[in-house]
Amino acid sequence: MYERILIPTDGSKVAKAAVDQAVDIAEKYDAEVHALYVADTDAISYSLGTEQVDRIRQGNFEGMTELREEAKAATGYVAEQAAEHGLESVEHHAGGQPHRLISSYAEDHGIDLVVMGSHGRSGVRRALLGSVTERTLRSTHVPVLVVDYQGTDE
């Protein structure tokens, strides 16, 4: 049923909660796990120059040590969890609008299931903060499992 499972991650507690669920499902189906880190260029474009934003959109984080390390740590955590369960994994880093890149990656790589976390915010808080998870749900035809994180905000 599931051959390839995508876990979009930013390394947060919310994302890590989704990793547990995704790895559990992947283990049951002996599925390949894909970890995707997306640097949100809309959020960082104000503090960087156009050239750096273009490089990030191409997935090139060279010269941006903190961003590169954050991306490696986030996808590395997913890969470690997959390896502990004897699963193959793929790590990918990209830059752009997260929901669009998640949807594109899922469709381009034959992903059968996307597993991602959510804070479970509602009402005004969700409208003001926006929701990558909600936007992903609206922009892909691939099934999405949303893991509701019940903890403190980061």
Coil, helix or strand at residue 85: coil
Q: Name the DSSP letter for residue 46.
A: T
pLDDT digits (tens, 9 = 90+) for 38-90: 988 877 655 666 677 677 777 767 667 788 899 999 999 999 999 999 999 99
pLDDT digits (tens, 9 = 90+) for 92-129: 999 999 999 999 999 999 999 999 988 655 555 444 44
- Tell me if 77 sits within 8 A of 9, measured CB to CB: yes
Side-chain-side CA neighbours of 71 within 13 Å: the count stands at 20
For residue 33, list its beta bridge partners: 5, 89
Domain edges within the chain: 4-148
What's the Rg (C-alpha) of the chain?
15
Kindly report the length of the chain: 154
State the pTM of this model: 0.85
CATH level 3 topology of 4-148:
Rossmann fold (3.40.50)
Coil, helix or strand at residue 89: strand
Q: Which amino acid is at 68?
A: R
Q: Which residues of 123-139 are buried (b: 16+ CB within 10 A; e: fewer)?
A: eeeeeeeebbbebbbeb
